């Protein structure tokens, strides 16, 4: 009997593989309880359910481009927490389509089961052919085997395409949200801490552009000719100020056990995506390199996250703490208006970034540690700022929780964001493929099994966190505008003076 006829008969499809025969298939089959589908990475009894397409068959239809990577999505968890996930998507204003994910997931399960069933039948037929058989019986089995094989190839192609589509939809589901995060848009963000107060001036103050012009610190006009708008040259003491901020930040943060890094600024676009950014979206922030799959980084978060991609770390190595210096490049597409004046919004800037890989139980604690480091840095510079617990509408897909610091910029008459500290939990690590192997809870006994593998548990995803130590241009805005004096000079914050050869004041020069 041609068992494959069962699933083809109800459709108009013939023996040639149509694009989505499984649609007919799913409608004609009764839903069965979902089997546990395990990814190849965690073979033991894992709680995560991931998609398995390691069937070695044809990779989709002719000309179909498979995605370069896939996140290790926990489908079972999503299914078990459907309402919470839907709620989260809503409060974050995410465009993820959860209903579609569920629909595709059900189709996937059904199709997967059908594929397994066909494989089993094909194996059964193959087994039957092992013994001594009548030629006519053998011939019939060969025919049946051939039909099963063709049917299987078609179904497996469909499965691959379905899996890719499901994966793509599911990957756009944003991270879960910390229960204390305020719900709403930007205005719902909650004040966590306030340091200092707005300085009152007894003279007419200037903004950083005017101060910079008088002190010959920047050139925006020449940069507009050479490069375009929102580019700039730093000159004279502004160069010393940038170098001082970077040197000081690396020094202060590495004292706290962070390993200094200088990173590549050109990365593969897949790594950008795995960190939760979208290089190909309309109005993307990401610059791409022509004739290449490479992009410019918008933050060192990307190459630092990537440094351990596709790795299994020892638990004893955690937490891994890095302080990374890089230039950052952002298109700022879609950002226009007065909020882009001078150094406030630029295409290229220097930044020192903190990044932590840790065990899940510790990410909350490290988030607090990171924000404290930031607050200490800015307080020591003498800035007045507010730390905000950002609301759900402002989180961005990877962040479980995000604290922003906004500092007072008297010349621009506004508080402006100077740093951001995010706990991304396992969002990035599921995409970058970064796991750790928990250490054995007891030392190995007299068991004859060698090595650590036996007693330690299955691998888990690490949690990742990132936080700005210094983003140079906006700190220059803060320093110039807050510490200006009536005569046009600027007082250099004390912590930076040793890094500027002891310079205490930026003074107007008689030029």
144 in a known ligand binding site: no
Site for other proteins in 364-423 (CB under 8 A): none
Strands 259-262 and 320-329: parallel
Contact flag: residue 507 with other proteins (CB under 8 A)? no
d(CA 194, CA 191): 7
Report residue 143 CA to chain centroid gap. 50
Q: Which is nearer to other proteins, 308 or 463 (CB)?
A: 308
Contact flag: residue 313 with other proteins (CB under 8 A)? no
Give how far Cα 47 sits from Cα of 42, 69, 74, 434, Å.
9, 22, 8, 17
Contact flag: residue 2 with other proteins (CB under 8 A)? no
194 in a known ligand binding site: no
User: Smallest distance from the beta carbon of 281 to other proteins, in angstroms?
Assistant: 14
Q: Which is nearer to other proteins, 308 or 367 (CB)?
A: 308
Q: Which is nearer to other proteins, 234 or 358 (CB)?
A: 234
- Binding window for other proteins (CB under 8 A); candidates: 20-28, 151-159, 256-264, 488-496: 256-264
Contact flag: residue 335 with other proteins (CB under 8 A)? no
Contact flag: residue 219 with other proteins (CB under 8 A)? yes
Site size with other proteins, rule: CB under 8 A: 52
d(CA 237, CA 501): 11
Q: According to CB under 8 A, which one of 23, 327, 341, 497 is a site residue for other proteins?
A: 327
The answer to whether residues 399 and 392 touch, using CB atoms and an 8 Å cutoff, is no
d(CA 46, CA 2): 37
Question: 131: helix, coil or strand?
Answer: coil
331 in a known ligand binding site: yes
330 in a known ligand binding site: yes
d(CA 255, CA 7): 66
Give how far Cα 95 sits from Cα of 4, 183, 270, Å.
39, 17, 21
89 in a known ligand binding site: no
User: Smallest distance from the beta carbon of 233 to other proteins, in angstroms?
Assistant: 6
User: Smallest distance from the beta carbon of 120 to other proteins, in angstroms?
Assistant: 39
Contact flag: residue 227 with other proteins (CB under 8 A)? yes
- Binding window for other proteins (CB under 8 A); candidates: 217-225, 377-385, 456-464, 487-495: 217-225
Site for other proteins in 336-355 (CB under 8 A): 347-348
Task: Give the side-chain half-sphere CA count within 13 A for 149.
Answer: 8
Q: Which is nearer to other proteins, 306 or 410 (CB)?
A: 306
Place of tokens 């500027």: 500
Contact flag: residue 233 with other proteins (CB under 8 A)? yes
* Beta bridge partner(s), residue 353: 324, 468
Task: Give the side-chain half-sphere CA count within 13 A for 75.
Answer: 25
Task: Indicate the length of the chain as a whole number.
Answer: 511
Q: Which is nearer to other proteins, 174 or 298 (CB)?
A: 298
What secondary structure letter does DSSP report for 353? E
Contact flag: residue 266 with other proteins (CB under 8 A)? yes
Contact flag: residue 209 with other proteins (CB under 8 A)? no
d(CA 274, CA 300): 14
Contact flag: residue 262 with other proteins (CB under 8 A)? yes
User: Smallest distance from the beta carbon of 394 to other proteins, in angstroms?
Assistant: 28
Annotate each residue in 289-308 with x if it binds other proteins (CB under 8 A) or - if it does not, as one string.
Answer: xxx--x-x------x--xxx
User: Smallest distance from the beta carbon of 258 to other proteins, in angstroms?
Assistant: 11
The answer to whether residues 296 and 286 touch, using CB atoms and an 8 Å cutoff, is yes
- Binding window for other proteins (CB under 8 A); candidates: 50-58, 174-182, 236-244, 484-492: 236-244
Place of tokens 């089993």: 120
The answer to whether residues 304 and 322 touch, using CB atoms and an 8 Å cutoff, is yes
At a CB cut-off of 8 Å and minimum separation 6, what does 252 contact? 377, 469
Backbone angles phi, psi at 22, to 5 degrees: -65, -20
Residues of the binding site: 299, 330-332, 346-349, 353, 417-420, 466
Sites of contact with other proteins (CB under 8 A):
219, 222-223, 225-228, 231-236, 238-240, 242-243, 246-247, 250-251, 259-268, 271, 287-291, 294, 296, 303, 306-310, 325, 327, 329, 347-348, 501
């Amino acid at each position: 009997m041609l068992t494959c006829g069962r699933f083809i008969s109800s459709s108009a499809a013939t023996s040639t593989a149509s694009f989505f025969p499984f649609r007919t298939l799913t409608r004609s089959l009764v839903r069965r309880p979902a089997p546990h589908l395990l990814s190849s990475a965690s073979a033991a009894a894992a709680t995560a359910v991931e998609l398995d397409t390691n069937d070695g068959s044809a990779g989709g239809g002719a000309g179909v481009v498979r995605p370069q990577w896939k996140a290790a999505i926990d489908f079972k968890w999503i299914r078990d927490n459907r309402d919470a996930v839907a709620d989260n998507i809503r409060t974050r204003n995410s465009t993820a389509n959860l209903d579609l994910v569920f629909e595709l997931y059900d189709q996937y399960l059904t199709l997967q089961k059908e594929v397994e069933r066909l494989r089993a039948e094909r194996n059964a037929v193959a087994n039957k052919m092992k013994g001594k058989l009548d030629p006519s019986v053998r011939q019939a089995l060969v025919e049946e085997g051939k039909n099963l094989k063709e049917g299987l190839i078609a179904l497996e192609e469909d499965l691959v395409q379905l899996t890719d589509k499901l994966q793509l939809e599911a990957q756009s589901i944003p991270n879960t949200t910390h229960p204390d995060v305020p719900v709403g848009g930007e205005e719902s963000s909650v004040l966590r801490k306030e340091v200092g107060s707005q300085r009152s001036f007894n003279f007419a103050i200037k903004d950083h552009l005017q101060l910079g012009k008088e002190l010959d610190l920047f050139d925006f006009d020449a940069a507009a000719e050479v490069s375009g708008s929102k580019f700039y040259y730093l000159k004279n003491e502004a160069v010393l100020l940038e170098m001082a901020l970077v040197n000081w930040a690396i020094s202060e943060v590495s004292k706290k056990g962070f390993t200094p890094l200088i990173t590549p600024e050109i990365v593969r676009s897949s790594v950008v995506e795995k960190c939760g950014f979208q290089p190909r979206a309309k109005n993307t922030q990401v610059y791409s390199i022509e004739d290449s799959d490479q992009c410019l980084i918008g933050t060192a978060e990307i190459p630092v996250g990537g440094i351990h991609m596709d790795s299994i770390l020892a638990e004893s190595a955690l937490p891994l703490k890095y302080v990374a210096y890089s230039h950052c490049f952002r298109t700022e597409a879609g950002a226009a208006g007065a909020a882009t004046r001078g150094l406030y919004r630029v295409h290229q800037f220097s930044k020192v970034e903190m990044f932590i890989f840790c065990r899940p139980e510790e990410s909350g604690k490290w988030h607090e540690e990171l924000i404290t480091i930031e607050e200490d840095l800015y307080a020591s510079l003498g800035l007045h700022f507010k730390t905000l617990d950002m609301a759900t509408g402002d989180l961005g897909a990877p962040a479980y929780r995000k604290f922003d610091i906004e500092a007072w910029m008297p010349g621009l008459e506004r508080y402006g964001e100077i740093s951001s500290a995010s706990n991304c939990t396992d969002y990035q690590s599921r995409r970058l493929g970064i796991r750790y192997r928990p250490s054995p809870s007891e030392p190995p006994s007299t068991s004859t099994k060698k090595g650590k593998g036996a007693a330690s548990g299955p691998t888990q995803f690490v949690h990742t966190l990132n936080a700005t130590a210094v983003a140079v241009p906006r700190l220059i805005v803060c320093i110039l505008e807050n510490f200006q004096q009536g005569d046009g000079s600027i007082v250099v914050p004390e912590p930076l003076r040793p890094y500027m050869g002891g310079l205490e004041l930026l003074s107007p020069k008689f030029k």
